[in-house]
């Protein structure tokens, strides 16, 4: 395989994104990092488990963008990539709160009942984020025939989702959540077949555009409990897709190249609007979080994406189930200021993810599953402000640097390396609450 350089404002320049639905984006809040099933706070939650939304106490606008540089290597050939874009956009807001008053005893000295207040609450959110991204440009040469030929491949696009989520908090012990999303996007692919030494013989172009529409649903649970000075969370999430359809437009034509100009010789095939149903992978995730006071948290996550049931009319490649294993350490993990703190401490986040992806690459007569590794370090810069009613509101700038590798266990095969800079902004409800005047 030979490669040619590409750059632009997109999310990826990976040849592996030509497989299936593209490169899986796996977007999650910078605050949540790899804690896909357990991260929950007064201002932030996980995009993978809607139950974590139940812990949100304040209206919060959260957005993030990313800048990405990478290098794809195949043999002696290299392809560079520079790009980026919006990672996610979210608006979360509390919609209900209630304090249940339970009698726990009687104070005979004061001649009055003793009560315990048990909190309940709910929050909702609107989220826009990418699900998959496509971006590749490469060519394959074949010099075994009478005339050497070249086939060039180029692709772009991706699939996005607009979500509505709802999470409930039940007595600070159990959260439940549900998410409903509208899936939309387009996948574009273009191939050119040519004879480099004889362009006058013509060039065959095959262009496809697949327009995607459908529905995503997410279900989540989060259990919380405290033992002495430690806090524990166990999260479970499930993701599924229904009502998916793709409309494909395809055009095959013969082009003539002469004197630097290209003209259409003949249209071989044209079909506009072929609509068919297809499926996307379901996913199940489980996570555990251990937190010691407000000092640090240690988080473990496992997520399985089931590709065995995926049936797509525009993708005939073979896939395997994807597995993601994540671990993270967060110093100062709580995202709200403690009343006894003079200054809120800066959260510092370290994480590692090992993934056996869904993509399979045939090399030397054997199948190889693509391996992905992500190592991240990040931090948050808090800006605490006191509001008109003496309440304390936290805003935060989040920064994350990630080193990503993608390739195979066997040597001599294509590999990728990326450096990703993520910058996020979390704005608390001081930006949204209506002021009161005496």
What percent of the chain lies above the pLDDT cut of 90?
50
Domain ranges of the chain: 2-431
Q: CB atoms < 10 A from the CB of 306, how many?
A: 15
Between CA 363 and CA 324 the distance in angstroms is 24
3-state secondary structure 344-368: CCCCEEEEEEEEEEEEEEEECCEEE
Give per-residue pLDDT as tens, 319-342. Answer: 899 999 999 999 999 988 887 888
Considering just the CA atoms, what is the radius of gyration of the chain in Å? 26
Ranges assigned E (strand) in 259-365? 261-277, 282-292, 296-306, 322-331, 348-363
Helix ranges restricted to H, 117-273:
none
* Residue partners of 183: CB distance under 8 A and separation at least 6: 131, 159, 160, 161, 212, 213, 214, 215, 216, 241, 244, 280
Between CA 31 and CA 404 the distance in angstroms is 19
Check residues 108 and 324 and name the one with the higher pLDDT: 324
Backbone angles phi, psi at 77, to 5 degrees: -100, 145
Q: 7 falls in which pLDDT band (50, 70, 90)?
A: very low
pLDDT for residue 343: 85
As a whole number, mean pLDDT of residues 302-325 equals 88
Q: Is the pLDDT of residue 8 over 70?
A: no
Give per-residue pLDDT as tens, 132-188. Answer: 999 888 888 887 766 788 888 999 999 999 999 999 999 889 999 999 999 999 999
Q: What is the pTM of this model?
A: 0.88
Q: Is the pLDDT of residue 348 over 70?
A: yes
Q: CB atoms < 10 A from the CB of 383, how many?
A: 14
In CATH, what number does 2-431 get?
A: 2.40.160
**Tokens (6 digits) for 100:** 């249940």
Q: CB atoms < 10 A from the CB of 381, how many?
A: 11
pLDDT for residue 260: 65
Closest of 409, 321, 324, 406 to residue 366, by C-alpha = 409
Name the residue with tokens 């994104």: 17
Between CA 42 and CA 254 the distance in angstroms is 60
Closest of 364, 353, 373 to residue 417, by C-alpha = 373
């Amino acid at each position: 395989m030979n490669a040619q350089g590409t750059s632009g404002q997109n999310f990826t320049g990976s040849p592996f994104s030509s497989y299936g639905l593209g490169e899986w984006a796996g977007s999650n809040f910078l605050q949540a990092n790899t804690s896909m099933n357990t991260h929950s706070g007064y201002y932030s939650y996980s995009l993978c488990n809607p139950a974590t939304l139940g812990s949100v106490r304040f209206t919060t606008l959260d957005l993030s963008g990313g800048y990405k540089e990478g290098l794809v290597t195949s043999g002696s050939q290299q392809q560079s990539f520079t790009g980026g874009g919006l990672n996610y956009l979210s608006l979360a807001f509390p919609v209900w709160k209630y304090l249940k008053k339970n009698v726990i005893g009687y104070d005979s000295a004061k001649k009055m009942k003793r009560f315990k207040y048990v909190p309940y609450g709910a929050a909702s959110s609107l989220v826009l984020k990418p699900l998959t991204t496509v971006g590749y440009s490469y060519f394959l040469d074949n010099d075994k025939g009478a005339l050497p030929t070249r086939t060039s491949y180029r692709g772009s696009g991706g699939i996005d989702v607009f979500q509505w989520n709802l999470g409930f908090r039940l007595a600070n012990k159990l959260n439940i959540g549900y998410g409903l999303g509208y899936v939309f996007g387009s996948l574009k692919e273009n191939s050119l077949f040519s004879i480099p030494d004889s362009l006058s013989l013509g060039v065959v172009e095959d262009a496809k555009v697949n327009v995607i529409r459908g529905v995503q649903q997410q279900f989540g649970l989060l259990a919380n409990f405290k033992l002495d000075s430690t806090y524990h969370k166990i999260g479970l999430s499930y993701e599924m897709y229904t009502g998916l359809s793709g409309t494909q437009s395809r055009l095959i034509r013969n082009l003539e190249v002469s004197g630097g100009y290209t003209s259409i010789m003949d249209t071989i095939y044209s079909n506009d609007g072929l609509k068919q149903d297809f499926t996307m992978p379901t996913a199940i995730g489980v996570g555990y979080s251990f937190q010691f006071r407000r000092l640090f948290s240690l988080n473990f996550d496992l997520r399985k994406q089931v590709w065995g049931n995926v049936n797509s009319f525009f993708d005939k490649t073979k896939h395997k189930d994807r597995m993601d294993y994540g671990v993270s350490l967060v110093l100062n993990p709580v995202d709200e200021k403690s009343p006894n703190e003079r200054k809120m401490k800066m959260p510092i986040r370290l994480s590692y993810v090992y993934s056996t992806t869904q993509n399979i690459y045939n090399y030397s007569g054997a199948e190889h599953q693509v391996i992905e590794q992500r190592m991240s370090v990040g931090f948050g810069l808090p800006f605490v402000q006191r509001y008109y009613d003496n309440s304390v509101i936290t805003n935060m700038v989040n920064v994350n640097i990630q080193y990503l590798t993608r390739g195979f266990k066997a040597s001599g095969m294509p590999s990728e390396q990326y450096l990703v800079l993520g910058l996020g902004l979390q704005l608390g409800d001081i930006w949204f609450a209506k002021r009161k005047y005496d």
